[in-house]
Amino acid sequence: MDNPGFLTRLKVGLGRSRERLTSSVGGLFSPLRAVDPAMLDELEERLLAADLGVAASRKLVDELKKRKFASSDEVLPALKAGMVDMLPPPQHHDGVKPWVTLFVGVNGSGKTTTVAKVGRLLKSAGHGVILVAADTFRAAAGEQLEIWAERLDLPVIRQRTGSDPAALVFDGIRAARAQGVDDVLVDTAGRLQTKKHLMAELEKVRRVAARELPGAPHSTLIVLDATVGQNGLVQCREFHQAVPLTGIVLTKMEGTAKGGIVFSIAEELRLPVEYIGVGEKGEDLLPFSPAAFVEALFEND
Amino acid sequence: MLDGLSEKFQRIVKKIRGEGTLTDANMEEALGEVRQALLEGDVNVDVVKQFIERVRERARGQEVMLSLSPAQQLIKVIHLELMRLLGGADAAPSIPGRVRDGLNLKDFPSVIFLVGLQGSGKTTTASKLALYLEKRGLTPLLASTDLQRPAAREQLRILAQQHKHPYFEGTSSSVVELGRECLNQARLKGFNPLILDTAGRLHVDEALMDELVALRDSLRPSEVLYVADSMTGQDAVRSSQAFNARLNLTGIILTKLDGDSRGGAALSIREVTGKPIRFAGTGEKPGDFEVFQPDRMTSRILGMGDILGLIEKAEETVSIKESLKLQEKLRKNRFTLEDMLGQIRQIKKMGSFADLMKMLPGGLGVPAGMDLDDRQLLHTEAIIQSMTVLERENPDIIDGNRRKRIASGCGRPVQEINQLLRSFAEMRKMMKRFRPGKRLAGLPRI
């Protein structure tokens, strides 16, 4: 597919409208004018190509339509500012101990790797951390987390495949309280949001956690693959209904996917992105920065 | 989301249903909606552009068919074009004994690579594919060269054990050597084919892509299948294109179709790689794996039922003259029970009521919650048949005595006759609201 760099195209476009601007009035003052429709189309396409979806893209572009700019150089910064504003700030941890975080999501989104990475991050910040391998469905999921735990020198609680994930969470919270641990990170089995019984199982995990420790789980993070399309919103909606979500971890951001679906999610559910995953290594996890994220969205591939 | 899309399509259909011909204006409006539907279905934005362009050309060149409304015609063009794109015409090469479901297994042992991004479902697919081929009389060997993800090979080994597939682990710590080891094992033990699960990798990871190319050059697989998550968005184009450029893929397997994504990525991947989609993963169980069906995918992406099938049935059974006559009657509000009987018989000719309903996208002009019982249709037919022609043409004359007679004639309770007459009166009232010249909206209410 022929796809010249966006910035190049944009610059050409900008150049065109700039010429028009300066030649039209020819005065010292550049009057405020509406954005060139061709440029708006181009921007909308760029947003669509980043998985923002039709509604969110249109909304952002419509905002630009309403405004007038002294120069077309101001359009892109205005769009970016509007996008940054759409993203809610991350949640604050308020020192509750132990702080229980549930990681949920569809199959293959990167939950196990994310749990390990977050564990590493918290440990390096001086927290005591316990990992709970509550994915008792996928073959070798427990082993996978155990290998991570060894690498990172973190304790992990696991049982054999097929056991009750709620029981594991129960054990994890008990152990955390007994040992005075700060954070309990719970890996759960991947499930498609269309599987009613598996969503019910997740509800049970949450219920058991809340019963054992009032207020738990303190965070429930959905792990989203950045390559996901419009179904990402559906996933969040359905998981949110089963276990109220507090935030998002966006994984696999080191590829060419932009993860633009988080804008639609922010619009509808006000869920903040907490972390982004940028690789397969333990340290490949970054706290989310809305400005940097928006900037990356407009970078060339 | 599913509903949203099929609603959108119904809106398009309703919008142009009343119009006599496909004009440039109404077609552009409809195509605008189609564009949005495809984008919301995760079809890549450039692919959508090209698609709309082709549909526009085709629709313009279409002969106007009397039996189809302009909306139906446009939908038919869109449907056919989608089918074509998704490989409706992909004939599996037919070399007996060597090719199964489009898989080229000419070598002994043949090697099948499963490649793709992390988390797309390669390992699960490997085990499903093994079961699928075993059922067809082959003896595949499962192996993995995924030295990257912790416990990846363990996952495959456990799956193989659970489902009793032959599995080989090997000892090499280099991917290429490990691959050779697996191939030797298959050759030695007479397994065919070797299904090789590879590590998930990003298409931009040059080192890992190089490694995969080296593995390919060493093992010379006859199939390199790209495993793609059906929930993928716009990025599907970039990743599949890159994999295809480096490895010259031979086919695609689409996973997680048991979710509720529209699966527009299928279209994007097909379009940029030009490679056929062979199989679809449709559930958690090992047997949830089937040969890919373009027609089903087409309906899924558009969020509509098998509208094409319905249109074809209508084309076969509804004569143009009859439908024009009926339109005329409707226009003059002279629709009678006799006409209704004709309609019922036409519906019966098209198949069972329930079957027809299944083909419709979420209730096109059919009231929700309506009881779709074929017996009810039969009963209605019987009731009308028990009326005199005079009664059928002038239902207002049907008083209590006549109702009793009709009831005993058809063997249905009087209440059902009352109900039919009530619905018929209701229907006529509704029809009065139609503007002259409008087509009949969907099937008649019974």
CATH 1.10.260.30 is right for the domain spanning B311-434 = yes
Question: For B261-338, where are the E strands, in sequence order?
Answer: 277-281, 289-291
Report the pLDDT averaged over residues B161-172.
95
Q: Tell me how far the alpha carbon of residue B392 is from its chain's centroid.
A: 42
Q: Which residues of chain A make contact with B121, given a CB cutoff of 8 A? A: 107-108
Inform me whether the C-beta atom of residue B122 falls under 8 Å from chain A C-beta atoms: no
Query: For B297-320, how does the pLDDT look when each residue is reduced to its tens digit (9 = 90+)?
Result: 877 777 665 555 556 556 655 665
B111-304 and B311-434 have identical folds:
no
Q: Burial, B337: exposed, middle or buried (Cβ in 10 Å; 0-12, 13-18, 19+)? A: buried
Residue A266 phi, psi (nearest 5): -60, -40
Cβ-defined contact of B40 to A54 (cutoff 8 Å): yes
Sketch the domain layout of chain B as residue ranges: 3-85, 111-304, 311-434
Q: Phi then psi for B33, rounded to 5 degrees?
A: -70, -40
Contacts of B124 in chain A (CB under 8 A): 107
Superfamily of domain B3-85: SRP54, nucleotide-binding domain (1.20.120.140)
Cβ count within 10 A of residue B413: 10
* Least confident among B173-182, B183-192, B371-380: B371-380
Higher-pLDDT residue of B356 and A175 is: A175
Using DSSP, state whether B254 is helix, strand or coil.
strand
With a cut of 0.90, is the ipTM above it? no
The CA distance from A93 to the nearest CA of chain B, in Å, is 30
What are the CB-based long-range contacts (under 8 Å, 24+) for A290-296? Answer: A290/A84, A290/A87, A290/A89, A291/A84, A293/A87, A293/A259, A294/A80, A294/A83, A294/A84, A294/A87, A295/A80, A296/A253, A296/A258
Mutation site for B-interface testing, chosen from A107, A196, A258 by largest number of B Cβ within 10 Å:
A107
Chain A contact present for B264, CB below 8 A: yes
- The pLDDT, as a whole number, for residue B315 is 60
* Per-residue model confidence (pLDDT) at position B432: 66
Query: Do residues B226 and B275 make contact, with C-beta atoms less than 8 angstroms apart?
Result: yes
Taking only the tens place, the pLDDT of each residue in B211-230 is 999 999 999 999 999 999 99
Characterize A210-220 residue by residue with b for buried, 16 or more Cβ atoms within 10 angstroms of its Cβ, and e for exposed: eebbeebbbbb
For residue B264, count other CB atoms closer than 10 A to its CB: 30
**Strand partners of residue B143:** B168, B196
* Structural contact between residues A202 and A167, judged by C-beta atoms closer than 8 angstroms: no
Residue A162, CA distances (Å) to A100, A136, A137, A269, B258 in order: 23, 5, 6, 33, 22
- Reference A139, options A167, A105, A170, A107; nearest CA is A107
Residue with tokens 């226009």: B331
Could you list the pLDDT tens digit for every one of the 301 residues in chain A? 344 555 565 555 555 544 544 444 443 446 778 888 899 999 999 999 999 999 999 999 999 999 989 888 899 999 999 999 999 988 777 778 899 999 999 999 999 999 999 999 999 999 999 999 999 988 899 999 999 999 999 999 998 888 899 999 999 999 999 999 999 999 999 999 989 899 999 999 999 999 999 999 999 999 999 999 999 999 999 999 999 999 999 999 999 999 999 999 999 999 999 999 999 999 999 999 999 999 999 886 5
Question: pLDDT at residue B442 above 90?
Answer: no
Residue B27 neighbours by CB under 8 Å, 6+ apart: B16, B56, B59, B60, B74
Is B162 an interface residue toward A (CB < 8 Å)?
yes
Helix/strand/coil for B248: coil
B29 band by pLDDT with thresholds 50, 70 and 90? confident
Cα separation of A286 and A8, whole Å?
29
Question: Alpha carbon of B208 to those of A148, B117, B156, B214, B230: distances in Å?
Answer: 21, 11, 20, 10, 23
* Of the partner residues A45, A194, A229, the one whose CB lies closest to the CB of residue B232: A229
Structure tokens at B127: 């085990």
User: For chain B, how many helices (H) and strands (E)?
Assistant: 19, 10
Interface A–B counts its CB contacts (< 8 A) at: 154
Instruction: Tell me the helix, strand and coil percentages in chain B, rounded to 5.
Output: 55, 10, 35
Inter-chain contact B231–A144, Cβ cutoff 8 Å?
A: no
Fold (topology level) of B111-304: Rossmann fold (3.40.50)
* pLDDT score, position B363: 34
**Residue-level pLDDT at B438:** 42
Nearest to B318 by CA among B338, B341, B347, B339: B347
Mean pLDDT of B373-385: 81
